[in-house]
Chain A
Amino acid sequence: MSPGIRSSAAAVATRAVNTAVRRVGRGSGTVAGGRVGLRLDPSLLEHLGAGRRTLLVTGTNGKTTTTRLLVAALEPACGGPGSVATNATGSNMPAGHVAALATGRRDATAVLEVDEGYLAEALVALDPVVSVLLNLSRDQLDRTSEVRMLSGRWRSALGAAEHTWVVANADDPLVVWAAGEASRVRWVAAGLGWRADAVGCPACEGRITFEEGGGDGWVCRCGFSRPVVDVSVERDGAGTWAVWRDGRRARVALGIPGKFNASNAVMAAEAAGITGVDAGAALRAMGELESVGGRFSIKDVKGVPTRLLLAKNPAGWHELLELVGDDTGSVVVAINARLADGRDPSWLWDVDFERLGGRHVVATGERCLDLAVRLRYAQVPHLTVRQPEAAVAIAGQHGGRVDFIGNYTAFAELLGRS
């Protein structure tokens, strides 16, 4: 069989398996077909990526949302809704990439979220025009690599990928290190709320000092420091703005909440800009989006209006506590520790749950007892209710909207049931 025919057959098999999986109701149908396709043709991803424009998004937090924002930004120029190939379900390893590219037009622009551990493979297979690097921090340490190691791997992979533009967060030293050998970089001041993983210098193992008093600078004594940024995110009385070094400005008015999402949108606008889409138009298109895979959406759970939020590691929690910090309503925190969540919930002790003091808090999920102990030592009064919907119902007794913050499988389960 010639390579072309083998790939076509593998792509057909990928689609067939995924359709079958969806028909029998055994999942969203992305990974199984991709695996079959890759078994039939190990270089399937390379074949499916050839002859199309591909943009990659990676980082510890914000991958799915930024990918969705970037798709929204590119769709108007690509032929409207559905014209961009993407792994919308968040299957971000090679099988998920294969599944995303096996459907739709062979030359459709692709925006793919990539697991942090698979960036090198994706760069080689897909030769992307843009790679967006959001941030790097501790996440699921029982099954993934330590972040310093990941940063080093990204650095070598991007150094060898001469065609890609890198859109990188200038506020995260591990991302700056990772982009350090790339040939073309656009630096975005996307912010870094959680700095606990950023203090050790990746260049010399010295110590990075962050500017005090609201400044954004950071520097190590070895000279490794924050690069000059190309675009930053600014806030004033009139709203949030993307501001470029050459003086251009564009309004950031999103339908999804949070400072971190404004930063994600500006990263996406910069990536879209490299493909020729006007950044202002890109940001306007992104403003239409109101939820991403259920995140930020408000659902009725047993009669209680519930805002669904996902936070799966300390950095993600840091951002979400900023977001919900000023509210007064009840909060349900749901923690599981399955394979996809990481089996070790010790990271709960890296989260400032103290900030939930004064709220009605309900601990739920399969590891609600770990969370309850953490809340006890944070001196946050709470109830512990193992079943998530029951937890929401109890939290809802105080009236008003409930914020449900779950880690990965806890969030997905409530979303699937409601």
Chain B
Amino acid sequence: MSLVVVVVYPELLGTYGDGGNGVVLWRRARWRGIRSELLMASSDQPLPDGDVYCLGGGEDGPQVQAAAALRSDGRLQGAADEGAVVLAVCAGYQIIGTSFPGADGEQHPGVGLLDVATVKGQGPRAVGEVLAGPFDPGLPFLTGFENHSGVTTVGPGASPLAAVQVGSGNGVGPGHLTEGAVSGRVMGTYLHGPVLARNPALADLLLDWGLKGAAERRGQELPTPLAVLDDAEEEALRAERLASGSPGRRRSRRRHRTAPAGDDLRGVP
């Protein structure tokens, strides 16, 4: 078993420590004795072959550059079509969708890996702790920190990742805010932290997908279930974050509560 983790364009999509997601996956694989490689992929080179691709947050200008580079490179779409895992955060989440807003106020075409579309929100920037309950019953609460002004609509080809308890997330749907989106092995989220450091169960889900995909592509046997790690430090951090973000204690952080008319709430139970 082996796993290649690729951090996509860290010089463009690395503003909020999201490169840490790649580090978390790589370490958690190696701690289990799985051969794993961590690659930093620069935007002036062809994207390397990988089993898991991590995209992070970025500023408006570099976000447009990264989307253009990924579209012309084409390898991320190719890898996703063959079952590779994509985890995209914030600006990265927006660019793997179908369209997103640039600094110029124009909508730009996304890479189109995930059926989500983002527009610039009318309210203040969504900044603060997020607490969200995943729709996947196998996942515990997600904790993270968001910092964005996008409002993302999840289309019929994808499902929302979680229901927002605290924060804005996708910022759509009155009273029923959702956070992130998922389709097959492609996942997008607004959560920084980095999200996989704060949510090791999510990291292990992606690791499991990555190993399955790698086995399928190489015609190998499917991997055995992942060994349990001692996550005491992650659990202590989670307990603190979940307590500090509980609805009873939070200040007024919810924004974008007013959704544009006709917004879809597909996937919300």
Contacts and interface: CB of A to CB of B under 8 A. Distances in A.
Contact of B64 (A196, A205, A350, A377): A205
A200 interface: yes
A141 B15 CA distance: 9
A138 B20 CA distance: 16
B197 interface: yes
A147 B60 CA distance: 11
A374 B59 contact: no
Contacts of B24: 377
A148 B59 contact: yes
Interface in B131-153: 145, 147
Interface string A120-146: 000000000000000000100111001
Interface residues of A, number: 29
B128 interface: yes
Contacts of B174: none
Contact of B11 (A138, A200, A373): A200
A235 interface: no
B14 interface: yes
Given A370-B237, A377-B20, A138 B27 contact: no
A48 B237 CA distance: 49
A199 B65 CA distance: 12
Given A142-B147, A200-B65, A376-B233, A347 B197 contact: no
A344 interface: yes
Interface in A322-378: 343-344, 346-350, 369-370, 372-374, 376-377
A274 B27 CA distance: 53
Contact of B17 (A205, A343, A349, A372): A349
A205 B64 CA distance: 9
B194 interface: yes
> Interface centre among A147, A196, A347, A377, by most B CB within 10 Å?
A377
Nearest to A200: B62
A387 to B, nearest CB: 15
Given A346-B193, A349-B23, A141 B147 contact: yes
A346 B194 contact: yes
B127 interface: yes
Contacts of B237: 369-370, 372-373
A372 B147 contact: no
Contacts of B212: none
Contact of A344 (B11, B19, B59, B145): B145
Contacts of B15: 138, 141, 146
Contact of A347 (B16, B43, B198): B16
A207 B65 CA distance: 10
A343 B19 contact: no
Interface string B223-240: 000000000011011001
> Interface centre among A146, A347, A373, by most B CB within 10 Å?
A373
B12 interface: yes
B73 to A, nearest CB: 14
Given A349-B23, A369-B233, A377-B23, A344 B14 contact: no
B6 to A, nearest CB: 17
A349 B11 contact: no
Interface string B19-52: 1100110010000000000000001100000000
B61 A372 contact: no
A324 B31 CA distance: 29
Interface in B178-205: 192-194, 197-198
B245 to A, nearest CB: 12
B13 to A, nearest CB: 11
A344 B147 contact: yes
Given A199-B11, A200-B11, A205-B65, A373 B233 contact: yes
B197 A373 contact: yes
Contact of A369 (B27, B129, B147, B236): B236
Contacts of A343: 127-129, 145
Nearest to B144: A346
Contacts of A146: 15, 59-60
A196 B14 contact: yes
Nearest to B65: A205
A200 B16 contact: no
B67 to A, nearest CB: 12
Nearest to B59: A146
Contacts of B64: 205
B206 to A, nearest CB: 15
> Interface centre among A147, A148, A207, A346, by most B CB within 10 Å?
A346
A372 B234 CA distance: 8
A359 B64 CA distance: 42
Given A142-B127, A347-B17, A349-B20, A207 B43 contact: yes
B197 A349 contact: yes
A350 B19 contact: yes
B202 to A, nearest CB: 14
Contacts of B60: 146, 148
Given A205-B64, A205-B65, A377-B27, A369 B17 contact: no
A36 B60 CA distance: 38
Contacts of B14: 196, 350
Interface string B52-77: 00000001111011000000000000
A207 B17 CA distance: 21
A348 B17 contact: yes
16 contacts: A142-B128, A142-B145, A200-B11, A200-B12, A200-B61, A343-B129, A344-B147, A346-B193, A349-B18, A349-B20, A349-B23, A350-B14, A369-B237, A372-B233, A372-B237, A377-B27
- What are the 7 closest A-B residue pairs judged by CB atoms, nearest first? A349-B20, A349-B17, A346-B17, A199-B11, A369-B237, A146-B59, A344-B145
Given A148-B60, A372-B236, A384-B233, 9 more contacts: A148-B59, A200-B59, A205-B65, A207-B11, A347-B16, A349-B23, A349-B194, A350-B19, A376-B233
